[in-house]
Amino acid sequence: MRIAELSKVSGVPAPTIKYYMREGLLFPGERTSPNQMQYDDSHVRRLKLVRALIEVGGLSVAATREVLDKMHTPGMTVLESAGKAQFAMSRPPAAEPDETQLAAAQQVRDLIAKRGWQVRETNPARGTLAAVLATLGKLGQEYWDLLDDYAELTERIAAKEIDTLLRQPNAESLAEALVVWTALGDAMFSALRRLAHEDAASAYITTPSPTS
């Protein structure tokens, strides 16, 4: 298919497709003449993945490019590459840690040990969580009563997600699903949490009577 048909099939405007190509998010098609390129279903699939990561997952173009690049790291298995791609979606602040952040990092280590999680020291989500806890502390927000609840819930969710991922038909599909669920799962959990917030808060809100 040519770019016009690729645009129609994928639902992505042709100028956006060309932009994604310039940014390295979409691999080139097969050149059939000096001025013509041919595209196939693999381009349609990649376009859907790119749009999902950017428009729903909230990743920047640069972050999306890094994630896609790491999905196919030379010399690594597909699953190892997928793990690197997932790590690329979690970036802790680069600022030099202060005492509060160092204390929060220790709290993260304690939490991981308490729950018996097998988590590498290099996992950037450690730093992200520590930065969140440090910021909550600086803002005077109590979080210790909630932290274990968050951990328990996410542990259950993660177990079910991994079970679902392992049912993928092949390693390539599993790697793509891991990346998609990392980005879109975050967005879905956030949306569900906001809906649940409104529901939980409704019990404390007095609705005026229609006759008052």
127-182 pLDDT, tens per residue? 989 989 998 988 988 777 889 999 999 999 999 988 988 888 877 788 788 888 88
pLDDT at 179 (0 to 100): 84
Mean pLDDT, residues 115-128 taken together: 91
Phi, then psi, of 37 in degrees rounded to 5: -120, 145
pLDDT at 205 (0 to 100): 82
Q: Is 80 exceeded by the pLDDT of residue 79?
A: no
Which residues are CB-contacts of 51 (< 8 A; sequence separation ≥ 6)? 12
For residue 23, what pLDDT band results from cuts at 50, 70 and 90? very high
Contact 89/182 with Cβ under 8 angstroms? yes
Q: Dmax of the chain from CA atoms?
A: 76
Q: Is 60 exceeded by the pLDDT of residue 212?
A: no
- For residue 178, count CB atoms less than 10 angstroms from its CB and return exposed for 0-12, middle for 13-18, buried for 19 or more: buried
Mean pLDDT, residues 10-15 taken together: 90
Q: What's the distance, Cα to Cα, between the start and end of the chain in Å?
A: 65
Average pLDDT, the chain: 86
pLDDT digits (tens, 9 = 90+) for 36-74: 788 899 899 899 889 888 888 888 898 888 888 887 777
Cα atoms found within 13 Å of the Cα of residue 60, Cβ hemisphere only: 6
pLDDT at 154 (0 to 100): 93
pLDDT at 15 (0 to 100): 93
Q: Is 60 exceeded by the pLDDT of residue 209?
A: no
Contact 129/108 with Cβ under 8 angstroms? yes
**Is 70 or 106 the better-scoring residue by pLDDT?**
106
Lowest mean pLDDT among 28-32, 46-50, 98-102, 198-202: 28-32
pTM of the model: 0.76
pLDDT at 160 (0 to 100): 92
